[in-house]
Structures are given as C-alpha cells and as structure tokens.
Amino acid sequence: MTLTIGLTGSIATGKSTVSKMLKELDIPVIDADIIAREVVEPGEPAYNKIKEAFGSEVFQEDHSLDRQKLGALVFTDDNKRKKLNAIVHPAVRERMLEQKRSYLESGAPCIVLDIPLLFESNLSHMADAIVVVYADEEVQKQRLKERNGFTEEEASQRIAAQMPVKEKADRADYVINNNGSKADTCRQVKRLLEQLNIT
C-alpha cells in the first residue's frame, strides 16, 4: 500500500523547504507549482487559453508567460484569479494524477503531493493524510517580502488570496511548525516520517 501525503500550507510558509527535505530523504514529491509552470509553456493548451483570456500583454518578447505581469493582475482582482485558476487547475490536476499513477506503478511506499491550494480547491480526497507547513502570519509575510521583494501591500494581497494558514493547520492531520530554524523543521520532518512508519 502506498501512502499518499498531501503537503500544503500558505504562501511562503515553507512547503518547498519541506518538500526539498523530503526529496533529500528519497521520498517522491509531485509539486503542483512546478506542474503549473509546465502547463503554461508555449504550445500547451492552457497557454493559448491564457492568451485568449488575458491578451498578449501578459507575454514576454520571447513568447513565454510574463509571470510578474499576470501575477500583478490576478492578485489584485478575484475574478481574474478565478479565470486563471479555471484555465490552469484542470491541467495541473490531470498531470499530477498521471505522475501519481506512474509512482504507484513503481511501488513507492509513499508519495507526497505538494499542493498550495489543496484546501481552497477541495482536493483533500487526493491524500490519505494531510500535512500543513505552518508559520505565524508575521513570519510568513516577512519571508515572502524578503524572497519576492514584495511591498507590504503586495505581500498582504498574496496572503489574502489563500485560506489563512491557521485555518489550514486546524484542518490538518499533522502540522510542521516552520517558525524556527530550518534545522528544527528538518527534525520535525524526520519525526513525522517515523510516526508514519516511512523511514
């Protein structure tokens, strides 16, 4: 039996940091953010749909998606974000399931699905156990500002586009508290794998 773990959290609470630790421990991770980048590459169906919906101004000269411009549009307008989600999410879900199937065939004892919007998109059913990477909102905002060079307002808008991380932690089967050092988080990850009998 393969255990499917849903890994989530809110923006910049540390999902990628935890998923990197899991990969280093040889746990297969399917990353929705990476797939969301793949499905909007030139030639993909979602690429053309974004052009139809948002116009050529959200593309760069080399024809790739201008993520900064599109981000500025969708994180300041709920309707535009919903429109983008409706284009990108089905393609992401389909590719995640394909990858999951191929890991299942290989007999992996555990698969991690790293999905930022797992609760918002009602995808809890995709996982046997849900792990939320938590950080206090002030820590989250500070890390987001530092990582992306966002202003206070930009950081607040991106955080507001998701369910508050506290609510996600309340719904989780397991919580990893990432307020402290990465070393402390790594210890929690290893402890969790022991608890789940995956080491």
Indicate the SS3 state at residue 60: coil
Does position 71 interact with ligand COD (CB under 6 A)? The reply is yes
Segment interacting with ligand COD (CB under 6 A) among 28-36, 130-138, 172-180, 190-198: 28-36
Tokens of residue 135, six digits: 């950080």
Q: Where are the alpha helices (DSSP H) in 25-66?
A: 32-38, 45-54
Q: How far is the CB of 147 from ligand COD (least distance, A)?
A: 10
Paired residues of 9 in beta bridges = 133
Contact 22, 6 (CB under 8 A): no
Site string for ligand COD, 97-136 (x = CB under 6 A): -------------------xx-------------------
What does 162 bind: ligand ATP, ligand COD, none (CB cut-off 5 to 8 Å by kind)? ligand COD
DSSP string, 125-163: GG-SEEEEEE--HHHHHHHHHHHH---HHHHHHHHHTS-
What does 9 bind: ligand COD, ligand ATP, none (CB cut-off 5 to 8 Å by kind)? ligand ATP
What does 4 bind: ligand COD, ligand ATP, none (CB cut-off 5 to 8 Å by kind)? none
Q: Which helix (DSSP H) or strand (DSSP E) does residue 9 occupy?
A: strand 3-9
Does position 181 interact with ligand ATP (CB under 6 A)? The reply is yes
Q: Using CA atoms, how far apart are residues 107 and 25, in angstroms rounded to an integer?
A: 17
End-to-end alpha carbon distance in the chain = 15
Report 86-145 residues binding ligand ATP (CB under 6 A).
116, 143
Does position 6 interact with ligand ATP (CB under 6 A)? The reply is no
| Residue choice 5, 6, 15, 96 for contact with ligand ATP (CB under 6 A) | 15
Q: Which residues belong to the annotated binding site for ATP?
A: 12-17
Q: Which residues belong to the annotated binding site?
A: 12-17
